[in-house]
Structure 1
């Protein structure tokens, strides 16, 4: 009898040990991949800055989680779907990568999301706005962490229509991000009683916007809306300034997605007065300033909302692993979605079951040269838009997950 009891206890002990091991950290390491634009039109607001933010988050976590090391790999997807997909596949199949962060290109992101679901890993998206992420392309393995097109449209669109911008014309980058942003903003403008007079599309990374601006000018629209980002936004606003469209006349240009690095590239002479939306500004409060100073010491520039968001996202991911003791995808995703997020980036934040991270957004205006007190003192806050107003509710049946 004693022998049988001893054998039973031994068996239970072995089973418990096996279960704990099976539920623990795969491969004895938590491996994070930062896949982003390191050299193209989005590199200023994501790129190496996003990598730096992820490195800071891991360092602040002590370089370990659940007693095991955290490793980081990074790569440039070059804004090419095949390149991004190839890197992600290699990372998942051979590189022991558990989660990919950033991407910041809608087309690449949609492709990597499908692969991530197939490989049962996790992807947390940075500067990706297309609503498809949480609608027809949604997966249980993906999170849209910074914003979506609806949030950008809700905050900017409603504000400008209320200010008298009743007629709109879009200059839109011709891929998923821009097309989705134009579509959602059109809906908001029309719901507020405004009218869209037309639109024109341009290739990614366009240097000369003269022909597009002439068409927009000829439309007579009150608001010429730029549904693009990065160097495209900078080039378009510089061109608009040359056409006299940024000086308070009957027509004015607005950017639906503006980063602080864009304002820095343009200068306040050209960007002053621009209205924008963001969930993060480096000078918002003590916590933001503390993070931004550390980031600036490493990069010699202030963090964008995407870069700050990637620090927040990685921290939230690691906290979920620490709380559950495993990097199992389903377990970690469930913990991330059930845990509120309140840090210097995400105010009143949580992740919806369709993968959209909700948080308060700010409506900001770019200061004029006379208002700015020095380098990177670029924004003044108009209002805080609560998460419930900034982000649109789920569309019934849009995400079949």
Structure 2
């Protein structure tokens, strides 16, 4: 089945899914079929760049945890499951070359992670051409599953539209209507600025300008001063990883973060960046995530298994790799084959509710629709209730109980986002192990 871009999905999605179901029912049962007598999964990630803490080695750990959870003997349909990994370095040519090598020479069946949008766009096209599968968990450009969607790829965790359509309305509702962007000048950053701008304009706000920086830019000073001089109420960071961290830390050096007249918001920031920013710089920030390890009991159990291996809690991107690999293997088992079109067809009929994804299903264009979290960084002090702000509690870090102050995310449960990504629940995020619970 070809993917159906956003502009066509409303008319065709239901009929297409019904047709797929009818075909599956009509086909007679057949013996299990695994190509090359092995299911081989590749994690093409960032091991050395700005997003290596958000993905990187943790994504490889997450994939292995999914395999081990699926089968203790690491087999599906009686055949072995193998895992390979490589560093794309965030470069399109390196990522594309590795994908072709894996598909042509190593018989890799599925590639996941794909941390950078430029790499993901290249690899999804190659996977479609080679009749293999790509499960994008680390890249966020909405074009991956909109205008440039392919029949043999899915977009699993988040995209630039979901990030924008969660954070932007929340800030505009506070009266913060004028915006300035500091944007990483590559596919993800440009898509994030574009989607956020459209939502700002639709919501009655205005964009006063933007500055673009190369990825992995250590000096953000000129962009920050330009943003400050714009007079915008919100300085939005359309970047990620170390670029976001550098932007915030340098803004703090200029006195722009605490006590400044402008609000800083990272349109993509994971727990790794928030912890690195420190409470003094991150407190009060509003941002969007698709997963947090302490959001409920299942997430906590997964987080502890991950921590036992990686010695850090999983980020949204790393958790997405776990979910994608686990459900890929379940689809192979259910269909009796690793043939890509059969597996994709099965995934389109599944509903996803695991340790990571809540209320998930795939649209006709391959985009995962699931619950997203709108969160705010707040302070945690001992002796106060979670429902209060600042929030107070005890937390456990690295296995040792201690009492103190920690940067914490506080979930805002109010918004339901056009049926595309939904905000749910209520929780707090803390480094290490937090005792906060969903009410």
Q: CA deviation at 1:377?
A: 6.3
Is 2:413 aligned against 1:383? yes
Task: Work out the number of aligned pairs and report it.
Answer: 373
8 Å contact kept, 1:362–1:384: no
User: How far is the alpha carbon of 1:233 from its aligned partner?
Assistant: 0.3
Out of 342, 353, 378, which is 2:364 matched to?
A: 353
Matches within 5 A, 1:5-44: 20=30, 24-44=33-53
Deviation beyond 2 Å, 4+ runs, structure 1: 367-378, 384-392
1:52 matched to 2:61? The reply is: yes
CA distance in 1, matches of 2:156, 2:165: 17
1:202-241 alignment, distance < 5 Å: 202-241=213-252
Q: Is the 8 A contact 2:274 2:407 kept in 1?
A: no
Determine whether 1:256 maps to 2:262.
no
CA shift, 1:260, in A, is 0.6
CA distance in 2, matches of 1:162, 1:390: 20
More helix as a share of residues: 1
Q: How many angstroms does 1:265 deviate by?
A: 1.5
Q: TM-score, normalised by structure 1?
A: 0.90
| Whole-Å separation in 1 of the counterparts to 2:80 and 2:259 | 55
Output aligned runs, 1:152-231, within 5 Å: 152-231=163-242
- 1:69 paired to 2:80: yes
Change (3 A) 1:279 1:137: same
Per-residue CA distance 1:309-332 (angstroms, 9 max, x = gap): 111111110000000110011100
Distance 2:159 2:283 in 1: 25
Alignment of 1:292-311 (within 5 A): 292-311=303-322
Structure 2: tracts of 5 or more residues without a match:
1-28, 382-390, 398-405, 423-439
Deviation at 1:246, TM superposition (A): 1.7
Give the 3-state SS of the residue equivalent to 1:292 in structure 2. helix
Question: Which residue does 2:156 correspond to in 1?
Answer: 145
Q: Which has the higher contact order (CA 8 A, sep 6+)?
A: 1
Q: Secondary structure at the match of 1:168?
A: strand
Does the CA contact (< 8 Å) of 2:48 and 2:89 recur in 1?
yes
1:263 Cα shift?
1.1
- Superposition RMSD on alpha carbons, in Å? 1.7
Kept after mapping to 2: 8 A contact 1:360/1:385:
no
1:249 CA displacement: 3.6
Q: Which structure has the larger Rg over C-alpha atoms?
A: 1
Residue 388 of structure 1 deviates from its aligned partner by: 4.1
Q: Which of 239, 246, 257 is the matching residue for 2:257?
A: 246
Q: What SS does structure 1 have at the residue aligned with 2:93?
A: helix
Listed one character per residue, the Cα deviations across residues 109-148 of structure 1 (whole Å, up to 9, x for unaligned) are 1111111111000000112111211222110011111111
Residue pair 2:279, 2:407 contacting (<8 A) in 1 also: no
In structure 2, distance between residues paired with 1:384 and 1:58: 36
Task: Using structure 2 for the length normalisation, give the TM-score.
Answer: 0.82
Contact 2:377 2:407 in 1 (8 A): no
CA distance in 1, matches of 2:37, 2:417: 38
**What's 1:8 paired with?**
none
8 Å Cα contact 1:348/1:387 also seen in 2: no
Q: For structure 1, list consecutive stretches of 5 or more residues without a partner in the other structure.
A: 1-18, 393-401
Q: The residue matched to 2:167 in structure 1 has which SS?
A: helix
| Matched-pair contact (CA < 8 Å) for 1:125–1:144 | yes
